[in-house]
Amino acid sequence: MGVINSLSADKEPKKVIFTGVKKHLTLRNALIAVLIFLSYLIFSDLIKTVLFVAILVPAGTFSIKLTRIIPNANLEVIAPCAFFIGYLFGWPAGVFYGVILGAYMWATYYSISQFVMLHLLLNGVAAFLGFFLESHGMAFAGAYYLGLIIRDGLFFVLGAMMGNPMENTIQTLSSVFTHLILLPTFMIILYNIAVLF
């Protein structure tokens, strides 16, 4: 008798769970699920772009804060992120992140100056280089290195025309260290995550 009661007690929760799931399996819910799935298929690039921009804005803002704290260093990560977004989602998305949102990120810790304007210009260049190299079939890792070498070379040349050569050299070297030594592994991992979805 006790065994029969325990068996029937075990069956009851399963029946309740199945009834709870069955209650939600309606035509209306199935249509909503199909609409969400179709929306994802149609707007997946837009959704991914917004998601990655939302993730990368705090990283860019934090890097500007570090650049502000450490004198004569250039530890910003906005240019590599603009390159990444330009490579994956096209140059307009990369320019929006690097120039428009980049101006906001820089303005949180710096006043707008020639130095900041140079960074914003080169963020746009990095975004366009990402799009250009991807459209010519270059793999992300090689394109990243080539694009950031061109960007940092332009930073050195244009920065030398703007001001103190010693300060410009230190900033360029710290930028090269950040972009080409510290960040490539992280950016390649981020790219591999992005292409999975």
Region 44-196: CATH code: 1.10.1760.20
Give the CA radius of gyration of the chain: 25
Distances (CA, A) of 14 to 5, 11, 21, 24, 169: 15, 5, 11, 16, 70
Of 74, 76, 126, the residue nearest 99 (C-alpha): 126
Average pLDDT, stretch 14-27?
63
Confidence band for 29, pLDDT divided at 50, 70 and 90: confident
- Which tens digits make up the pLDDT trace of 168-182? 888 889 999 999 999
pLDDT surpassing 60 at residue 15? no
User: Could you read off the pLDDT of 41-70 as tens digits, one per residue?
Assistant: 777 778 888 889 999 999 999 999 988 888
Question: Where do the structural domains in the chain lie, given as residue ranges?
Answer: 44-196
